[in-house]
Amino acid sequence: MSAEKPRLIRSVRLLDAAERRILSEFSAPAAPAHPLNTAELIELAHSFQAQALLVTHHTPLKGDDVAALPDCVKLVATVSVGLDHLDVAALNARGIAVSNTPGVLTDCNADLTMMLIIAASRRAAEYYNIMKKGWGHSLEMDEMLGHRVSGKTLGIIGMGRIGQAVAQRARGFSMNVLYHNRRQLDPSQEEGATYYASLEEMLPKCNILSLHLPGSSNGQPIITARTLSLLPRGSILVNAARGSLVNETALIDALRSGQLAGAGLDVYQNEPNPDPRILALPNVFMTPHTGSATIETRTAMCMLALDNAAAIAAGTPLPSPVTA
């Protein structure tokens, strides 16, 4: 008689390839018709007696939520790199392992970052609006001019996997790359990028600044009125990391005053309802938190989460464990 399949629930319907794998390898309820909230996930975990929970940032597990999980749960596998929605220490304290999906979304997030850099620099949102209104008149020589990306100096805050991938792409545009990080990388990883231990020393040299770090543990933004004032006037800010990294009031003021020529944003403090003042600004190119949103990457993320679920059931090491 075959062993019982590992018991698993997911908070959202996954991509087709992952759903087929669940049907083949796991015992699971039908895919939810809508993304489960935390209370619904916990209730289902109790009723189905799941060993593994697959979640996204839509379903946070913190504080009392962690305490409410049944003892049968041995793994929370988030289909994301970010962990802001999970209390990893509390989960680990209950003997529940945590996994995420690093690596597989690096290239797509870096690709999106380059799109934001180019779109913000070349006024893509404004050009698009002109075309949607029918265009109607030829632009003058000095009208609606953007900024060239090639040859500019790019500052990167956070030189992990994604930051390094962005730097690699920026070199294709002959950009000079600077970076600020908790530690200096090995020269083989820097590939010519210049390290600044002091953010304040790096910012005045940056034509474009791109953020690639997790949200701060204390919730304080790294981009404030002060840090924005240190950038050269007419710079570009790009954020495809976390909305909590940016003081949005300071960002709006800088965009209105011309301290920033433009911004490219994929993340916001209040998702999915960004500050209306940002939405109203003409010089912001915006995407709806879609850094990993390709078929290839989302499928790989789902599969890695399922790899972790299979490993916890088999008693083998997790492919991508997270510890507090």
Place of tokens 């791109």: 210
**Contact by Cβ (8 Å): 283, 251:** no
Long-range own/partner contacts, residues 196-203 (CB < 8 A, 24 or more apart): 199/157, 199/227, 200/227, 200/230, 202/155, 202/178, 203/155, 203/227, 203/230, 203/231
The model's pLDDT over 224-272, given as tens digits with 9 standing for 90+, comes to 999 999 999 999 999 999 999 999 999 999 999 999 999 999 999 999 9
Residue with the two structure tokens 């996204």: 56
**pLDDT, mean of residues 202-223:** 91
pLDDT > 80? residue 132: yes
Considering the candidates 43, 200, 201, 271, report the single residue annotated as catalytic. 271
**pLDDT tens figures, 137-190:** 999 999 999 999 999 999 999 999 999 999 999 999 999 999 999 999 999 999
Report the run of H or E that residue 142 belongs to, with start and end. none
Mean pLDDT across the stretch 20-33? Answer: 97
Task: Compute how many other C-beta atoms are within 10 angstroms of the C-beta atom of residue 195.
Answer: 15
Tokens for 250?
């300071």
Q: How is residue 95 written in tokens?
A: 């003997």
Q: In what order do the strands lie in the sheet with 52-55?
A: 8-10, 52-55, 75-78, 97-99, 321-322
Say if strands 208-211 and 153-157 run parallel, antiparallel, or are unpaired: parallel
pLDDT at 217: 64
Active-site residue, 289 included: yes
Inter-residue contact 69 to 229 (CB < 8 Å): no
- 219 pLDDT tier (thresholds 50, 70, 90): confident
Catalytic residue among 122, 123, 289, 298: 289
Nearest alpha-carbon partner for 164 in 136, 147, 141, 184: 184
pTM for the structure as a whole: 0.93
242 is catalytic: yes
Which residue out of 242, 248, 296, 298 is catalytically annotated?
A: 242
Q: Three-state DSSP class for 65?
A: helix
Tokens (6 digits) for 174: 């002959």
Q: What is the pLDDT at residue 1?
A: 36
Dist. CA 86–CA 99, nearest whole Å: 11
Q: Which two tokens stand for residue 164?
A: 């390094």
Q: How far apart are the C-alpha atoms of 166 and 160, rounded to whole Å?
A: 10
All domains of the chain, ordered by start, with CATH? 8-104+295-322 (3.40.50.720), 106-286 (3.40.50.720)
Q: CA nearest 284: which of 252, 245, 257, 259?
A: 252
